Structure 1
Amino acid sequence: MRRLTFVAAAALLLSACQTVQNTAGTPTTYVDPSTLGPVKGVGIESQDIISMTDQMMRDMLAEPRLGNAATPPNVIIDAEYFVNESSSRLNRNTITDRLRVGLQRAAQGRMQFVGRHYANMVDAERKLKRQGVIDQGKNPAAAAQKGGDYRLGGRITSLDSRDSKSGMTQRYTQIVFEMADLESGEIVWSGIYDFAKAATDDVIYR
């Protein structure tokens, strides 16, 4: 019994002393997000997001009620009513944040942007000011938070097909953007972006 224990302990010690050769991995490289990268699948990827938001931004600015109104409208652009019904796993904020930032830069005062996703933050600060806990700051006191005239809505849908013989997967993706009048519900602008992709081996989106 002692001999067996000794042999087992020696074998364990030898295995622990062996040098493990780790295979070198692929070094990290920067990839232009507006181009097709080395990892690609049939879902929505960075080049799609950049292309669609740039196109939607130009289209929205060309709409007279949004980009050429006598009084700049208050617009809300967030993901609250931008629904993903597609089979692609996606953070919707990636699209709406880029659209809002790009549009605000390009509008140059032709639109005013309401950060409805910051409503709780603004409300908490306003309460502290009204209670005298902090001073009023430099901006004049407002009777209420700014209301929106138009708000972004939309839907992402997809249609998938697969060839069982070749393993080829194809996905058609359609993204609809709309700006709705927050008093009447009228859709004052619509935009659509679509594409189809095919691949034998899809990638995992996170």
Structure 2
Amino acid sequence: MRRLMIVASAGLLLSACQTVQNSAGAPTTYQDPATLGAVKGVGIESQDIVSMTDQMMRDMLTEPRLANAATAPNVIIDAEYFVNESSSRINRNSITDRLRVSLQRASQGRLNFVGRHYANMVQSERNLKRQGVVDKGTTGTAAAQRGGDYRLGGRITSLDARDPRTGMMSRYTQIIFEMADLESGDIVWSGIYEFSKAGADDVIYR
């Protein structure tokens, strides 16, 4: 028993004396989100988001019912009806938010943007004003929150394939954007963005 205790004590001393050599990691660098980054996979990446939203923004501004109407229509662009059915993990807001911001900048008043995702915030403030808790502000009051004429919808789908011999993986991704008339249900504009990528190994998307 005494001999076992001596051996165990010696082992603890040796392990305590060992030092772990941590190799230096690669320094963090800024990358242009519109270009292919250092970490690449077969899913939707920053350059795809930048490219597709720019393309959709330009295309939407060529639709007369949206951008050339006599009265600027009220549009809702958010991720509520923009669904992801693909095998790619993606925050849908990163696509719709960039599309909305880019479109609002480029439309120059030809479209009115309704923040339906802020409806609860707006209603809370409206209630405070009408209860006399706060004043009416500088822009006056409205009979109701603004209704939408058109709203964005869409779908992300994909098709995956893998070669069991080589481990090579490919993914075809298709993103559909549509603007629907909120009274008739007519689709007044549609856009499609698609790409196919292949690689020996995929990366982890979060």
Q: Give TM-score, length-normalised by structure 1.
A: 0.96
2:188 match: secondary structure: strand
Aligned ranges 1:37-186 → 2 under 5 Å: 37-186=37-186
2:61 match: secondary structure: helix
State how far apart, in whole Å, the 2-side matches of 1:182 and 1:44 are.
29
Partner amino acid, structure 1, of 2:9: A
Partner amino acid, structure 2, of 1:27: P
> How many Å apart are 1:51 and its aligned residue?
0.3
Partner amino acid, structure 1, of 2:112: Q
Q: Deviations over 1:64-117 (max 9, x none)?
A: 111111110000000000011111111100100000000000011010000000
State how far apart, in whole Å, the 2-side matches of 1:169 and 1:144 are.
52
> How many Å apart are 1:12 and its aligned residue?
1.4
Identity of aligned residues (%): 80
State how far apart, in whole Å, the 1-side matches of 2:3 and 2:169 are.
60
Structure 2 unmatched runs, 5+: none
State how far apart, in whole Å, the 2-side matches of 1:145 and 1:155 are.
28
> How many Å apart are 1:188 and its aligned residue?
0.5
1:105 match: secondary structure: helix
> How many Å apart are 1:2 and its aligned residue?
4.6
State how far apart, in whole Å, the 2-side matches of 1:112 and 1:13 are.
72
Structure 1 unmatched runs, 5+: none
1:34 and 2:34 matched: yes
> How many Å apart are 1:49 and its aligned residue?
0.5
Partner amino acid, structure 2, of 1:147: G
State how far apart, in whole Å, the 1-side matches of 2:196 and 2:104 are.
30
> How many Å apart are 1:55 and its aligned residue?
0.3
1:196 and 2:196 matched: yes
Partner of 1:9: 9
Number of residue pairs matched by the alignment: 206
Q: Give TM-score, length-normalised by structure 2.
A: 0.96
Partner amino acid, structure 2, of 1:86: S
State how far apart, in whole Å, the 1-side matches of 2:129 and 2:3 are.
80
- What RMSD in Å do the two structures reach over aligned CA positions? 1.2
2:158 match: secondary structure: strand
> How many Å apart are 1:133 and its aligned residue?
1.3
State how far apart, in whole Å, the 2-side matches of 1:32 and 1:66 are.
31
